[in-house]
Structure 1
Amino acid sequence: MNPQNKIIIKSLELFEVYGIKQVTMDDISETMSISKKTLYIHFTGKKELVKEVVQFLFKLHFTAITKIIDDNISSIQKIKKIYEYALNYLMKVTPTFYLDLKKYYADSYKVYDQNRNKIIFGIIKDLLDKGQLEGTIDKSLNTELFCEFHLTNFDRISAYESLSIDSNPKDLLNNSIGVSLKGIINHSENNTIVKH
């Protein structure tokens, strides 16, 4: 693995635990046992590093989501698995990560927001539309509105400080998207969704 990727991976780990603002370039160089000068050879500053971290993070997300999409399961089950994956990730990341990104790193937040929208309004919406064509999802569902509603809920979940203490991913899934999925699927699909 090249040094730049090592820095990105280590920075992501630190940001996920402490938030972005809290972690300095000194902290990163110290944690990696490299000089600050070496760090600046690869990145012009923290803003560039944060942007690279966000892009790397979404490469990981899209790789995981692609594996789910390639599974030989129904569209509704793929949606459930994607949400489960997202909730599992949110549970391990401090909400400060997202709040710092939005407040202090506007360019990186744009990258974050664009990629998040690709997942929600691209991948999830496509799966919902496909489910409607397959007959597994209620044809009267406004898939755009459904996605908008769940994007807002995910923002709330990611900003909720005590999330990891009060809930586990299964509870969150069942009490957020799970409830909605039960309402939009045909009865024949309902049993397969609830039992996972």
Structure 2
Amino acid sequence: MDTKEKILQTAEELFMRYGTRSVTMDDIAKELGMSKKTIYQFFKDKDAIVQLIMSRVFEEERQQLYKIEAESADPIEAVLKIAEVTGERIRNINPIVLYDLQKYHSQVWDEYNSFCEQDARASVVRNLKRGIEQGLYRSNLDPEVMATLHLVCMDAIFDQNITDSISHKKYDLGDLSTMVIEHFLRGIVTLEGFQLLEQYQQRKTHTTQP
């Protein structure tokens, strides 16, 4: 791994753990065991590091959505796979990261909103249409409306007021994201879809048992 990639990898780990605002260039240099001068040879400032890291993150998530869609046997399996990877990803991110992006990195925040609206939302719409066509989701659903409602619910888990109100339950954000996705899925399936969902859930239970 070259020096630039080491800087990006270390900075990403620090940003996701502590947020972008509280991590300084000094912190990154100290973690890497190198001088700030070396970092500035590759990046003009911290914002440039944040922009490149987040652009990569959005692209990785975009490609992952396409990969899951292409490799899943049906829309329900796709949703369950997305729930799994989303939950794991969120567990490794401090919620303050999104707040910092919104307040201190406007260009990155715009890119995040664009990803949510164009890529994540489009993926949900495609899944809903496919599920309706296969008789796994209810035929009276409006994919566009349901996709919007679902993403609003997903955004809500990062709302401090909401998470504080259920923090005594000791759920992490990854657990909450899985709950939201599974609740959404159970609300849209037909009887056939419900039976298939139960099969997937039972299979997962059996494979995770010691």
Check whether TM > 0.5.
yes
Structure 2: distance between partners of 1:184 and 1:101: 33
Q: Whose radius of gyration is greater, 1 or 2?
A: 2
Structure 2: distance between partners of 1:172 and 1:145: 22
> Is the 8 Å Cα contact of residues 16 and 92 (structure 1) preserved in structure 2?
yes
* Counterpart in the other structure of 1:43: 43
* Counterpart in the other structure of 1:138: 138
Displacement of 1:180 in angstroms is 2.0
| Residue identity in the other structure for 1:187 | L
Structure 2: distance between partners of 1:174 and 1:41: 42
> Is the 8 Å Cα contact of residues 21 and 100 (structure 1) preserved in structure 2?
yes
* Counterpart in the other structure of 2:68: 68
TM-score (normalizing by structure 2): 0.82
* Counterpart in the other structure of 2:29: 29
* Counterpart in the other structure of 1:148: 148
Structure 2: distance between partners of 1:171 and 1:48: 32
Structure 2: distance between partners of 1:3 and 1:138: 52
RMSD across aligned positions (CA): 2.3
| Residue identity in the other structure for 1:181 | L
- Unpaired runs of at least 5, structure 2: 205-210
Relative to structure 1, is the Cα distance of residues 29 and 173 closer, same or farther in structure 2, using a 3 angstrom cutoff? closer
* Counterpart in the other structure of 2:99: 99
Residues 47-126 of structure 1 correspond to what in structure 2 (within 5 A)? 47-126=47-126
Displacement of 1:168 in angstroms is 5.2
Identity %: 26
| Residue identity in the other structure for 1:122 | A
CA deviation vs aligned residue, 1:3-50 (integer Å, no higher than 9, x gap): 222222211110111011000111111111121111111111111111
Structure 2: distance between partners of 1:113 and 1:53: 16
Structure 1: distance between partners of 2:58 and 2:9: 12
TM-score (normalizing by structure 1): 0.88
- Unpaired runs of at least 5, structure 1: none
Structure 1: distance between partners of 2:181 and 2:197: 11
Structure 1: distance between partners of 2:156 and 2:71: 29
Displacement of 1:128 in angstroms is 1.2
> Is the 8 Å Cα contact of residues 89 and 174 (structure 2) preserved in structure 1?
no
Structure 1: distance between partners of 2:178 and 2:193: 15
Displacement of 1:193 in angstroms is 1.9
Relative to structure 1, is the Cα distance of residues 155 and 72 closer, same or farther in structure 2, using a 3 angstrom cutoff? closer
Displacement of 1:93 in angstroms is 1.0
Whether 1:183 and 2:187 are equivalent positions in the alignment is yes
